Structure 1
């Protein structure tokens, strides 16, 4: 009974620690693609609630980079700098990889490497510095979504998990007095703003009159921790606390009618995004039932100890009976060496 509970607790603890401490690699400027010769800063972003005086390690495609600072700078990128970048804190937690593509060409379609639910996303059809550019056109899944125009940026508002798509732009770039139509492609992958939401309780089983506190814990990317979250609580499907900034719900005095299933809900971005936790079940016991339960437990343990003692005693008795000589066993006749007259003495 206790072992499964312990395993569940250990699993949840590991999940929580991983969610809280996992860093994220961010780019500045915030583009997933750049052109050779351009500069970019990579920063290891850590959850602000646990940030300490960490030291950092950096990796590209799994290989360690000889740099230990929080921010890693590429002053003049080459195509060989293309790769999957990760950082790791001295706490031993390594980030997921973030892809940087250094393009050897004249046009790239740029977008942020980290896109979350509710973001307003900008795509930029960017040309090699020093070359005048003309009009641009944008496509999504091979369908025109912004016709030829002087703007080199496309804004997509309030993206969600269904916004994942392939995008393409064509740009007219001047090269030696002639304009060439050059194309570039990219993709958008939207991540959950709140990947983990759990409802925790100070006690799953309480006696009448006990105080119980429910805590709605939401984990959010270090890149979006300024997002305001509001929380609501439900009992057997009915709302018991409206949305507020408090992530706690307190039951000051448990009663039988407090038994049942509890859930919490988190809202963000002016309620455009909502997420519900998994339900937990609370049991309320009478004070007498609780005492009776403790008594039964004590009696069971005592009985087990007595049975074990009885078994040990029986084993000791059997062991002694097998190794002690019988009382009527004949003793050997002693004979005095060299004196025949004493042989029958």
Structure 2
């Protein structure tokens, strides 16, 4: 996965890259608000309480924000938080919050049960999280043996412990989980079960490395920036950034996502990458490669194209277009040499002779044709060869 500055002059390629850039900007749109649960479960029993909060990552704190809540599409409340005390089955449904100004959140499902057992799992799980699963029986009853399963395979026979801890989860931890528990009622223990899926999401997106200038000339000051998007539900997560050139670290991990190149030199040309990680040795992700070519002074001045930045997905390659004056100079030189060569050919061609003056002599000169379209002048110098040029339909004398 690489981005390149290359000497290309196709306007069609520029348009194609521009469309890719617009797609990139669209996918980089701000993340909308998210509904957060406290306690973290979205499955509860009747009579229990739950608090929901509208978490918005795009709020600066400098603007006045209002919050609105919707249940099954209908407005029900205004305020940053929504609390349900002594929940009833009628409180089950799809909840959304909306900031003004701002977008409406995705739906968050709350389920209220009147059963004997529910398996409570976090509604949101992210890479690196430590998850708690709770095999929860209805308050007021006595419970016995509890067993946890993953894809119907036993992962913990916990005795009377009703919680299971899963440490440092990743994408592969996504699965269907289940628990069984014995609940004492009517003088006997009855076994009940419940299950729930867990889908582990990315904590932060794959980083992209960006350049402050569309082209770099010797002596320029430029900035490389490492961009990533952190989940609004994990906005307190501390991220660290490092930069590499040609596979070697040029800036160790720090809280800054910028790397400065002061007074660029040609030795600064190379393949640049940035890496992002959580504090400690948690989740690490590497960006795609950005290839930078530092031009000598004046190399890019003749044809200066606008900067086009393209994001990349794994397995894809993209090109950033720039025109180099060096290529144009080479084209001009080659064209001049071709014109000079053609002029020499025209000067060396034999003069046209009128039919009435020497018809026999002209006829004799072009009678000896070999298989390689070569004619020999047998009437004059035996070492002189005349080559037929199919493009111009004129003979060329080669000594």
TM-score (norm. length: structure 2): 0.68
Q: CA RMSD of the aligned region, Å? A: 2.3
Shift of 1:46: 1.4
Aligned residue in 2 for 1:55: 66
Q: Could you give the per-residue CA deviations for residues 212-252 of structure 1, whole angstroms, max 9, x where no partner exists?
A: 11111221112212222111112233322222222111101
Aligned residue in 2 for 1:132: 142
Query: Alignment partner of 2:298: what SS?
Result: helix
Task: Give runs of aligned pairs for residues 185-224 of structure 1, distance below 5 A.
Answer: 185-224=195-234
1:17 aligns with 2:29: yes
Check conservation: 1:204, 1:281, Cα contact below 8 A.
no
Aligned residue in 2 for 1:272: 282
Instruction: Specify whether residues 158 and 269 from structure 1 end up closer, same or farther in structure 2 by C-alpha distance, changes over 3 A only.
Output: farther
Query: Alignment partner of 1:219: what SS?
Result: coil
* Structure having greater relative contact order (Cα 8 Å, sep ≥ 6): 2
Q: Could you give the per-residue CA deviations for residues 306-328 of structure 1, whole angstroms, max 9, x where no partner exists?
A: xxxxxxxxxxxxxxxxxxxxxxx
Aligned equivalents of 2:158 and 2:248: distance in 1? 52
Q: Could you give the per-residue CA deviations for residues 8-58 of structure 1, whole angstroms, max 9, x where no partner exists?
A: 554444333324xx2211001101211122111111111276344321222
Aligned residue in 2 for 1:242: 252
Residue ranges of structure 2 left out of the alignment (5+ in a row)? 1-10, 305-322, 325-399
Aligned residue in 1 for 2:124: 114
Moved more, 43-52 or 122-131: 43-52
Check conservation: 1:57, 1:64, Cα contact below 8 A.
no
Aligned equivalents of 1:119 and 1:290: distance in 2? 49
1:231 aligns with 2:241: yes
Moved more, 113-122 or 229-238: 229-238
Moved more, 120-129 or 284-293: 284-293
Aligned residue in 2 for 1:261: 271
Moved more, 72-81 or 144-153: 72-81
Query: Alignment partner of 2:156: what SS?
Result: strand
Aligned equivalents of 1:49 and 1:157: distance in 2? 31
Q: Could you give the per-residue CA deviations for residues 179-226 of structure 1, whole angstroms, max 9, x where no partner exists?
A: 211111111110111125222221131221010111112211122122
Q: Could you give the per-residue CA deviations for residues 233-277 of structure 1, whole angstroms, max 9, x where no partner exists?
A: 122333222222221111011122323332111011522311111
Instruction: Specify whether residues 97 and 260 from structure 1 end up closer, same or farther in structure 2 by C-alpha distance, changes over 3 A only.
Output: farther
Check conservation: 1:118, 1:269, Cα contact below 8 A.
no
Shift of 1:6: 5.3
- The structure carrying a bigger helix percent of its residues is 1
Aligned residue in 1 for 2:85: 75
Query: Alignment partner of 1:162: what SS?
Result: helix
Check conservation: 2:30, 2:58, Cα contact below 8 A.
no
Aligned residue in 1 for 2:339: none
Check conservation: 2:240, 2:279, Cα contact below 8 A.
no
Aligned equivalents of 2:211 and 2:277: distance in 1? 20
Shift of 1:105: 0.7
Shift of 1:5: 5.8
Q: Could you give the per-residue CA deviations for residues 155-200 of structure 1, whole angstroms, max 9, x where no partner exists?
A: 1111110001211111121223322111111111101111252222
Aligned equivalents of 2:292 and 2:95: distance in 1? 45
Task: Give runs of aligned pairs for residues 130-169 of structure 1, distance below 5 A.
Answer: 130-169=140-179
1:91 aligns with 2:101: yes
Instruction: Specify whether residues 265 and 44 from structure 1 end up closer, same or farther in structure 2 by C-alpha distance, changes over 3 A only.
Output: same
Q: Could you give the per-residue CA deviations for residues 95-117 of structure 1, whole angstroms, max 9, x where no partner exists?
A: 22222222231110001111111
Query: Alignment partner of 1:129: what SS?
Result: coil
Instruction: Specify whether residues 282 and 96 from structure 1 end up closer, same or farther in structure 2 by C-alpha distance, changes over 3 A only.
Output: farther
Moved more, 213-222 or 156-165: 213-222
Aligned equivalents of 1:4 and 1:57: distance in 2? 41
Instruction: Specify whether residues 260 and 83 from structure 1 end up closer, same or farther in structure 2 by C-alpha distance, changes over 3 A only.
Output: farther
TM-score (norm. length: structure 1): 0.78
